[in-house]
Chains A and B, each alone.
Chain A
């Protein structure tokens, strides 16, 4: 059983019946879907988006889409896999809307170097937060959620090579910021 299928039964017992009722428009069933997947959707959104406000908006947009499209959900894959893809797409859409924030990366490059000189070690949470939104999204979707570079590229409207290079660059930075570099 895949990880996402196992999560379905963990997050929502009796998922098939809940989905059938949700398709019929039963508001209680729709709420059950929300309650079951609210936490992982928010976590995914918050790991990708910069602010809690953006993550909460992504949460809302995701479940609005889930409620509208539950009739189109094909039960071939896991329910969580389907919900997660909607959430990831909404979060990436939010990033595109907030594209101006990417300019922070240039500033980060300069001040980052200065901070390294102080040999300040960050914890992983802070280092992840400090990555650019695009890099952080790629790291999270690939390393944690298990999406392939091809899938990430499709969701981002980029090439798999872009996703690969973003991931490698992000790990170079994380390694540096976490003080994991070894002297050659």
Chain B
């Protein structure tokens, strides 16, 4: 007589029906040895569950806490850096355009300046709101993180745009600053909406 394999016995312990389970159960009814084997499997699993818990000899909390605090500091610095970058870019643009930018670039330059002002205002508002110290639900935290990542990406592109020729640079810089304002607006919305929903 061919007895049940361990694969078949293990499968019989599962809640769902596997192909071949019906035949295995039929065999089991007539085979005392396989019933005993299945019972031993049940007992082995019960003994595994009853093994004593192993305990750590070291307290790892100080290391975890230090890493968490370091990461928090890093994020705060990044937020502060965003505000600084906007200010620096504003000065750089003023220098690049000069006192008399001429008729061709003046429209773009005004719009860039407006976008930068708006961006700075939003960052100041966001900074004053102090999102780091506030509670976020999981979904909101995910969206906020994504927006922050995209803002960081726009900042990198702005730095790259500085290397471009002036004619090509202005439309690109304007597009990026507008995008940045849009992202900051969205980030502010996320925090404010979350706060009003939570009644804060």
Q: Is the CB of A25 within 8 A of B57?
A: no
Indicate if A56 sits at the interface (CB-CB under 8 A): yes
Q: Which of A63, A72, A74, A144 contacts B48 (CB 8 A)?
A: A144
| B48 CB contacts on chain A under 8 angstroms | 124, 128, 139-140, 143-144
CA distance A74 to B137 in the complex (A): 8
Q: Is the CB of A63 within 8 A of B64?
A: yes
| A164 CB contacts on chain B under 8 angstroms | 7, 10-11
| A60 CB contacts on chain B under 8 angstroms | 60, 63-64
Q: Is the CB of A42 within 8 A of B64?
A: no
Which residues of B, 77-121, contact A by the 8 Å Cβ criterion? none
Q: Is the CB of A56 within 8 A of B137?
A: no
CA distance A1 to B134 in the complex (A): 32
Indicate if A50 sits at the interface (CB-CB under 8 A): no
The listed residue with most B CB atoms (<10 A of its CB), out of A59, A167, A171, is A171
Q: Is the CB of B72 within 8 A of A25?
A: yes
Interface with A: B37-45, B150-158, B167-175, B183-191, which one? B37-45
CA distance A80 to B56 in the complex (A): 18
Q: Which of A23, A39, A56, A67 contacts B135 (CB 8 A)?
A: A23
Q: Which of A25, A43, A71, A174 contacts B54 (CB 8 A)?
A: A43
| A184 CB contacts on chain B under 8 angstroms | 3, 33
| A139 CB contacts on chain B under 8 angstroms | 48
Q: Which of B14, B40, B137 contacts A71 (CB 8 A)?
A: B137
Q: Is the CB of B54 within 8 A of A34?
A: no
Q: Which chain A residue shows the least CB distance to B33?
A: A182
- Per the CB 8 Å criterion, the residue count for chain A at the interface is 50
Q: Is the CB of A46 within 8 A of B54?
A: yes
Q: Which of B10, B136, B140 contacts A168 (CB 8 A)?
A: B10
Indicate if A101 sits at the interface (CB-CB under 8 A): no
Shortest Cβ gap from B160 to chain A (Å) = 29
Q: Is the CB of B56 within 8 A of A55?
A: yes
Q: Which chain A residue shows the least CB distance to B44?
A: A174
Interface string of A125-151 (1 = CB under 8 A from B): 100100000000001100110000100
Q: Which chain A residue shows the least CB distance to B6?
A: A168
Shortest Cβ gap from A82 to chain B (Å) = 10
Main secondary structure of the interface of B (DSSP, over half): helix
Indicate if B73 sits at the interface (CB-CB under 8 A): no
Indicate if A172 sits at the interface (CB-CB under 8 A): yes
CA distance A184 to B4 in the complex (A): 12
Interface string of B31-69 (1 = CB under 8 A from A): 001001100110011011101011111101101110111
Indicate if B149 sits at the interface (CB-CB under 8 A): no
Q: Is the CB of B134 within 8 A of A39?
A: no
| A144 CB contacts on chain B under 8 angstroms | 45, 48-49, 51
Which residues of A, 140-176, contact B by the 8 Å Cβ criterion? 140, 143-144, 149, 164-165, 167-169, 171-172, 174-175
Q: Which of B10, B61, B71 contacts A171 (CB 8 A)?
A: B10
Shortest Cβ gap from A63 to chain B (Å) = 5
Indicate if B196 sits at the interface (CB-CB under 8 A): no
Q: Which chain B residue shows the least CB distance to A22?
A: B135
Q: Which chain B residue shows the least CB distance to A41?
A: B56
Q: Could you name 11 residue pairs across A and B whose Cβ atoms are closer than 8 Å?
A: A25-B72, A27-B68, A31-B65, A55-B56, A63-B64, A67-B68, A164-B10, A168-B9, A171-B6, A175-B40, A182-B37
- Give me 9 other A-B pairs in contact (C-beta within 8 A), A23-B136, A74-B139 excluded: A38-B56, A39-B53, A39-B55, A46-B54, A52-B56, A63-B64, A125-B51, A171-B41, A184-B3
Nearest 3 CB-CB pairings of A with B: A71-B141, A72-B138, A42-B56
